[in-house]
Amino acid sequence: MNYRTLGHGLTVSAIGIGCMPMIKGGNILYGEAADLDEATATIHRAIDLGVTFFDTAQIYGPFTNEELVGAAIKGKRDGLVIATKFGFTFDGNQITGVDGSPANARASCEGSLKRLGIDTIDLFYQHRVDPNVPIEETVGGMMELVNEGKVRHIALSEAGPETLRRAAKVAPITALQSEYSIWERDVEDEILGVCREFGIGFIPYSPLGRGFLAGTVRSRADLPEHDWRRQDPRYSDENLPANLAIVDAIAGVAARHGVSNAQIALAWLLAQGEDIVPIPGTKRRATMEDSVAAAAVTLTADDLATIAAAAPRGGTVGPRYGERGMRMVRI
């Protein structure tokens, strides 16, 4: 496994593991519900392969994903970088809103530490920006947790460029997590530049387009009835067929290298800069092993040109979220 350094000296494996799919039911379901034993075995196998970076969040489940990750890393904690996120309010298991207050950061941190069974969170994100709380106040509260030893590094998720600048001027922001992939390239407009201006690492979530770029979904009929992606505009009956040209171009490059579509999509991200560490979501050892192998794939200039022609910036049909979801990103 290769390793990369995010902002402020945090070193992680070149590919991390997005643990969100490792839930049994809950609020965000891709495909069939996870087999929790297989999910745990997936984390253990990833560690064996040299993966050090594992991503979870309070909202996944909610709460249960952190518990699963915590149980899986028990006795294996040394050398791992565990990332989790806060930023929402709940009524029981129902999400009721966003809350970026220092008080919520603290309460959420305490809950995450308990569920994960660890003494320190390595990377603590604000999951979504709260427009009602100045970002300076939010990151100030997060830094209090750093000073108390409960958090090592702080980060933001889906922050817009101006919010990111303001945060970085008052606190050491180690990473920004946002959607980035061959079919979602808007961060190239300004956000990546801001990250590099302030030495902030970039963590692409959904690096496989929620599975679309892997080539296993050719129509909505391929999605189970309760799959969250059925509400994704890019998976609609109107938009999905037009986006298949991107998958077909990836498949052509994959055939030349003798690897999977997923490995090409991840290798493309790795080629965008040494400060980029994708976190493909997985719940099975087979898909995890396939994704991790992408760290050894090097794309040629011709490969990159083929992909750019099929997937130019802004060329994907349909927004990446529905109207409500789009109101919560790039704030």
Specify whether 235 is catalytic.
no
Query: Which amino acid is residue 2, in one-letter code?
Result: N
Name the residue with tokens 């719940």. Answer: 283
Encoding tokens for residue 190? 């300004």
**E strands of 66-220, at which residues?**
81-86, 88-91, 94-98, 121-126, 151-157, 173-179, 201-205
φ and ψ at residue 32, rounded to 5 degrees? -85, 160
**Token match 């800069």: residue?**
273
Contact by Cβ (8 Å): 116, 77: no
Amino acid at 181: S
Residues 6+ apart with CB under 8 A from 107: none
Which residue among 30, 60, 180, 235 is the active-site one? 60
- Angle among Cα 214, 216, 218 to the nearest 5 degrees reads 115
Pairing of strands 121-126, 81-86: parallel
Q: Which residues of 68-91 are buried (b: 16+ CB within 10 A; e: fewer)?
A: bbbebbeeeeeebbbbbbbbbeee
With CA atoms as reference, report the closest residue to 281 among 228, 219, 234, 317: 228
| Cα–Cα distance measured from residue 315 to residue 196, given in angstroms and rounded to the nearest whole number | 25
CA atoms within 13 A on the CB side of 230: 12
- Degrees, nearest 5: CA angle 266-325-271: 15
Write out the catalytic residue numbers. 60
